[in-house]
């Protein structure tokens, strides 16, 4: 088997500050947790930004630039910037930071979808900030927009304009076919780093048979033209990433995807999750890819060609 790439999604735009005291909010916290995650074994760091005053997701390039250079100076990890942004951001807002930073990699969502995280609001007894409750509850009437035109625009402006490669985020089987359509039309080029995602309300459910079907579908559609990775939300994070490793895939963990390290116990850091999945994979006699090995596997341009 090839070595396993561990990605770590450090803060995201789904969880809010009231859900965990360990969620990194400020640029300093994001940088510190990213560096620690890389030291624990993450080859790729997937990054969003938050307003340091109240923790709400922000697309502001100035905020990204407070932590991107710090991380780059302290680790060789591949930096992967979101193009999904946060709820309600326009495509131009979502692209503002990546276009300025010109990173090696960005995420790219492969279809519009319902994205319902309202249920998490009911579990919060007291909110730290006024924005959190309406942000979460509003997702019962929210469509996460990623049209074919949006996808092509992002590939054109970032991929062809900056040499950035993508983590293609596929929340359902149809998203794999959307990616295949783009490959057939030569909008995207292999190797396709395909992140299959399980357990988001609005996407495919976190059931083992769904993981198998997503992999079988990707195998049929892409053959040797893709590199498979798995993430699962919440309590499904470790079981699904373990299954992915056993099946020859790569894995993503991090506080964007789950706030937990075990049953009823919150993770105290991203590094704790990285260390756990690394330990599990190595116990299964699987080797962990270094950042440079990940770059070679994914055909990345290299950290010397970014703009931060």
Q: What angle do CA 79, 220, 191 make, to 5 degrees?
A: 25
DSSP characters over 164-212: -EEEEEESSHHHHHHHHHHHHTTSS-SSEEEEEEE--BTB----HHHHH
Residue 1 has pLDDT above 90, yes or no: no
d(CA 108, CA 82) in angstroms, rounded, equals: 7
Distance CA 211, CA 182 (A): 22
**Please, which residues bridge with residue 29 across strands?**
none
Domain residue ranges in the chain: 6-114+143-298
H helix or E strand, kind and range, residue 214 = helix 208-222
Task: Give the C-alpha separation, 132 to 35, whole Å.
Answer: 27
User: What was the pLDDT predicted at 210?
Assistant: 98
244/250 Cα distance (integer angstroms): 6
Kindly state the tokens that stand for 91.
């495509």
Reduced to 3 states (helix: H, G, I; strand: E, B; else coil), residue 273 is helix
Residues 206-249: tens digit of each pLDDT:
999 999 999 999 999 999 999 999 999 999 999 999 999 999 99
Cα–Cα dist 145/109, whole Å: 9
Is 14 a residue whose pLDDT tops 80?
yes
Residue 68: its H or E element: helix 61-74
Q: What is the pLDDT averaged over residues 2-30?
A: 98
- Domain 6-114+143-298: homologous superfamily in CATH: Aldolase class I (3.20.20.70)
Average pLDDT, integer, range 163-176:
98
Mean pLDDT, all residues of the chain: 98
To the nearest 10°, report the CA torsion of 20, 134, 54, 308.
Answer: 90
27-40 helix and 270-283 helix, angle to the nearest 10 degrees: 10
Give me the mean pLDDT over the 293-300 stretch.
98
pLDDT of residue 289: 98
Residues 250-295 have pLDDT tens digits of: 999 999 999 999 999 999 999 999 999 999 999 999 999 999 999 9
Q: Which residues contact 45 (CB under 8 A, 6 or more apart)?
A: 7, 8, 10, 34, 37, 38, 71, 75, 77, 78, 79, 80
Helix 208-222 vs helix 237-246: crossing angle, to nearest 10: 40
Contact 270, 34 (CB under 8 A): yes
Pair of tokens at residue 20? 């965990």
Torsion on CA atoms 275, 278, 11, 141, rounded to nearest 10: -130
Rg value, the chain, Cα: 18
pLDDT at residue 306 above 80?
A: yes
Q: Tell how far CA 133 is from the center of its chain.
A: 23
Q: Residue for token digits 């994979």?
A: 281
% of the chain beyond a pLDDT of 70: 100
Average pLDDT over residues 119-147: 96
List, for residues 77-114, the tens digit of each pLDDT value. Answer: 999 999 999 999 999 999 999 999 999 999 999 999 99
Helix, strand, or coil (residue 219): helix
Which residues are bridge partners to 46 per DSSP? 9, 80
Residues 36-57 have a mean pLDDT of 98
């Amino acid at each position: 088997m090839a070595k396993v790439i561990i990605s770590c999604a450090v803060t995201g735009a789904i969880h809010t500050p009231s859900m965990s005291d360990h969620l990194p909010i400020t640029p300093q916290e994001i940088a510190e947790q990213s560096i620690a995650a890389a030291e624990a074994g993450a080859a790729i760091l997937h990054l969003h930004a938050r307003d340091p005053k109240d923790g709400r997701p922000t697309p502001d390039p100035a905020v990204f630039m407070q932590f991107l250079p710090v991380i780059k100076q302290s680790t060789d990890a591949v930096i992967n910037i979101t193009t999904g942004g946060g709820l309600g951001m326009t495509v131009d807002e979502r692209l503002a930071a990546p276009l300025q930073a010109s990173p090696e990699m960005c995420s790219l969502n492969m279809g519009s979808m319902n994205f319902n995280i309202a249920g998490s609001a009911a579990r919060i007894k007291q909110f730290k900030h006024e924005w959190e409750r309406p942000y979460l509850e509003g997702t019962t009437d929210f469509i996460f927009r990623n049209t074919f035109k949006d996808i092509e625009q992002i590939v054109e402006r970032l991929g062809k304009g900056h040499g950035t490669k993508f983590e293609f985020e596929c929340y359902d089987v149809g998203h794999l076919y959307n990616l295949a359509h783009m490959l057939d039309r030569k909008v995207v080029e292999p190797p396709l780093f395909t992140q299959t995602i399980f357990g988001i309300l609005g996407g495919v459910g976190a059931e083992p048979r769904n993981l198998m079907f997503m992999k079988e579908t990707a195998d049929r559609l892409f053959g040797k033209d893709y590199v498979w990775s798995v993430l699962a939300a919440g309590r499904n994070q470790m079981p699904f990433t373990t299954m992915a490793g056993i099946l020859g895939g790569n894995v993503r963990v991090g506080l964007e995807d789950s706030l937990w390290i075990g049953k009823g116990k919150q993770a105290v850091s991203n590094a704790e999750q990285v260390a756990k999945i690394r330990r599990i994979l190595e116990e299964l006699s699987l080797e962990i890819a270094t950042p440079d090995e990940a770059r070679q596997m994914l055909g990345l341009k290299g950290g010397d060609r970014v703009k931060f």
